[in-house]
Amino acid sequence: MSYDVERLIETITEEIYARLSSGDARPRPAMASEGLEIDHLICPGCTGRCPATCAGKTQRIVNAGASRVSVTAPVPARMAGDPALAAMIDHTLLKPEARREDIIQLCDEARRYGFASVCINPCWVPLAARELRGSRVMVCTVAGFPLGAATPAVKRFEAAEAVQTGAQEIDMVINVGALRSEDYGLVGEDIRGVAQATHAGGAILKVILETALLDDEQKVAGCLLAQSAGADFVKTSTGFGPGGATVHDVELMRFAVGARMGVKAAGGVRTLDDLKKMVSAGATRIGASASVKIMEEAGGQQPASVASARAH
């Protein structure tokens, strides 16, 4: 990178803190002098409701490569019964003890409700791809999961094999120890290799930061490195760490990446209210194992059983 990474991260973190403290919800403007390739997609005074209020800006975002455009204002009540709610959710089952029949049930639920994807361990990708053939539900799997401590070559191989066997989305875990050590070269190499393998197969990449293990400056650094390396989303958590998604972390990540990347909130999103808070904070995708329960709640139904809410 041509700019001083540490100075840039410190500057951006200070700006984010200032905006969060003042209640200013606008993403920070581009800083060309610092080498960032972020154009002015956000107008002064933007309310974050481009799809509803600004067709021209929405088209610009789409032209820049967005496959989904979300409204970051508070979720309206009408969304409760809207298929758009389900289409934001990655229906997740990453428990190591999951059985074949559990994966088949997960796929059936995803098809029935219209979830964005099923998020499963790599060994189940071929099965899920067969179960979901002909549907709009995507197959999402993980790489370097859940610790993030595998070598870049191993993660890249995992991603390439997963895409070859039917995965359309890859959620990789960042090298948390390297990020905490400020070894930005290794972190960038790690993400870049997986991004190349993922995109070569036409899939998209989400980078899991495991935010509960990071301070705010490290979270911002992870977001910038993921953006620079070509990732499509940043994601809060694996669900196996010491904590899950928080409103603060989602807001921080949205400020850090601006409008050009997705933000996925995962870990501990168990209710419709949890989901609404994450979307209002800037999340464009939600990872949840309690997806069916959330949809039943959104439809005004009494959840049939909370037992179906699997650990993320």
pLDDT digits (tens, 9 = 90+) for 245-275: 999 999 999 999 999 899 999 999 999 999 9
Which pLDDT score is estimated for 38?
A: 31
* Residues of the chain under the 70 pLDDT cut: 1-5, 16-82, 301-312
- Smallest CA-to-CA distance from 300 within 272, 279, 278 is with 272
Query: 74-96: per-residue pLDDT in tens?
Result: 444 444 456 889 999 999 999 99
Which pLDDT score is estimated for 132?
A: 98
CB 162 within 8 A of CB 125: yes
CB 137 within 8 A of CB 117: yes
Q: Classify the C-alpha dihedral 145-209-166-120 as positive or negative.
A: positive
Which pLDDT score is estimated for 83?
A: 84
Which pLDDT score is estimated for 309?
A: 41
- Smallest CA-to-CA distance from 125 within 150, 175, 160 is with 160
Instruction: Please list, in sequence order, all residues whose beta carbon lies within 8 angstroms of the beta carbon of residue 211, skipping any fewer than 6 positions away.
Output: 219, 236, 237, 243, 245, 246, 249, 253
Which pLDDT score is estimated for 17?
A: 66
CA separation for the pair 213, 198 (Å, rounded) = 26
CB 263 within 8 A of CB 238: no
Active-site residue among 171, 190, 232, 249?
A: 171
Tokens 């600004």 label which residue?
Answer: 54
Cα 298 from chain centroid (whole Å):
22
User: Is 235 tagged catalytic?
Assistant: yes
CA separation for the pair 261, 200 (Å, rounded) = 19
Active-site residue among 219, 235, 276, 293?
A: 235
Q: Global pTM?
A: 0.76
Which pLDDT score is estimated for 300?
A: 78
Residue 120, CA distances (Å) to 201, 226, 246 in order: 18, 22, 23
Q: Report helix, strand or coil for 167.
A: coil
Task: Domains for the chain: give ranges and CATH numbers.
Answer: 5-20+85-308 (3.20.20.70)
Tokens 């209640």 label which residue?
Answer: 23
Query: Can you say whether residue 175 is alpha, beta or left, with left for phi > 0 and alpha for psi between -120 and 50 degrees?
Result: beta
CA separation for the pair 202, 30 (Å, rounded) = 29
Instruction: Please list, in sequence order, all residues whose beta carbon lies within 8 angstroms of the beta carbon of residue 127, skipping any fewer than 6 positions away.
Output: 100, 103, 104
Active-site residue among 155, 206, 219, 264?
A: 264
Which pLDDT score is estimated for 42?
A: 29
Which pLDDT score is estimated for 164?
A: 98
Query: Can you say whether residue 41 is alpha, beta or left, with left for phi > 0 and alpha for psi between -120 and 50 degrees?
Result: alpha
CA separation for the pair 257, 283 (Å, rounded) = 12
Q: How many residues does the chain have?
A: 312
CB 42 within 8 A of CB 259: yes
